[in-house]
Amino acid sequence: MTERIVLRGSDARRQISRMRLLAQRLAPVTAGTPHEVVRWLTCLQAQDFRSARSAVALRAGAAVEAVDAAIGDGAIVRSWPMRGTLHLVDAADLRWMLALTADSTLRTARRRREQLEITGADVDHALSVVTQTLRGGRGATRAQVFEAWNAEGIATAGQRGVHLLETLCLRTELVLGPISGRHQQFVLFDEWIRCSNPVDRVANVANWATRYFRSHGPATLADFHWWSGLLRRDLAPVWDTVRAGLAEVVAGDTSYFLAPETLGAWDEHRGATLRPVLTPAFDEILLGYADRTPTLDREHSGRVVPGGNGMFKATLIDGGQAVATWRRAQTKGTAGIEVSQFDGLSRRAERVIPGLVARYPFASR
């Protein structure tokens, strides 16, 4: 029988948040490689590339340079696997992810492509030019790809270039690979990713759901559907199988699913989840859920996502609760942070912030 526990009391939802810290490897941080972290979380929001690399390094207990090395080796890649947004993923997973989501993403963006007057012939022409530019293991930054396209009469202004790049990435023609200076280079998908896990729609949906609940749980079905973009009809045929391998936590009238190992870790490491942690902008601890209220009180959501515009600020979490936003600042030549607190910080948080900043894996480029 699958393990099921009921959380009672006024702090039940906060316990959900603290368990998420365990599942997401934010408390306690256990040493691992950046590749292992990315594979565990399955997808990490990477719209802000600098923050995404810090998010991986934070969980791996490593320097950002180790993340860059994994990207340079091709173990980790960046693309648009879900929600039409850039994410870091295990290179071997990207093909089957796009097989599940690319058509839906392309349909959603169809109206915008029409507004930009991007035709199928334009996409084919762009592919032909970029293939000639990159063939043979070469890479090119976005600016360099745009330069090649413009030289061949393919207009890139007004977001045309960005939409062409995204379309070609969704079609598994291109992928973002090695880092050059401050930017990633686009490379040919099949030249850069030489080993892909099998494409099998039913098995892939089950795999994706299992990995989400194990790495992000406790989470709800609504959380998974929002996060992945997969529909209920996609998950329904495999849910009983996925569900059998998960534990369940009930808070109020809401059921959350998680790895049984997370419950075991809760018994042993719940104290670690009380410790403050600095999380970067767009971190999965908030962005990975449709309902973020276990961690972020609704009254403070506008402080983290001003205007609800999808731009998530870096956050200080204390005892499972988001208590402030923060940003990097230079003070008298020493790296530090500026903290914008919501309702005041605990003495514990005030005391440990200097140490958190000293250990935080800031990306230098």
Q: How do residues 31-64 score in pLDDT, each as one tens digit?
A: 789 999 999 999 999 999 999 999 999 999 999 9
pLDDT above 60 (res 7): yes
Q: How do residues 299-324 score in pLDDT, each as one tens digit?
A: 999 999 998 878 999 999 999 999 99
Cβ(322)–Cβ(297) below 8 Å: yes
Alpha-carbon distance of 140 to 174, in angstroms, equals 11
Q: Taking all residues of the chain, what is their mean pLDDT, rounded to a whole number?
A: 95
pLDDT above 80 (res 334): no
Q: How do residues 195-208 score in pLDDT, each as one tens digit?
A: 999 999 999 999 99
Burial, 115: exposed, middle or buried (Cβ in 10 Å; 0-12, 13-18, 19+)?
Answer: exposed
Q: How do residues 102-132 score in pLDDT, each as one tens digit?
A: 999 999 999 999 999 999 999 999 999 999 9
Give the distance, in angstroms, between the CA of residue 187 and the centroid of all CA atoms in the same chain.
21
Q: How confident is the model at residue 138 (pLDDT cuts 50, 70, 90)?
A: very high
pLDDT above 80 (res 335): no
The CA-based diameter of the chain, rounded to the nearest angstrom, is 65
Q: What is the pTM of this model?
A: 0.95
Q: How confident is the model at residue 333 (pLDDT cuts 50, 70, 90)?
A: very low
Domains of the chain: 4-26+201-359 (no CATH), 75-192 (1.10.10.10)
283 closest CA partner among 316, 308, 319 = 316
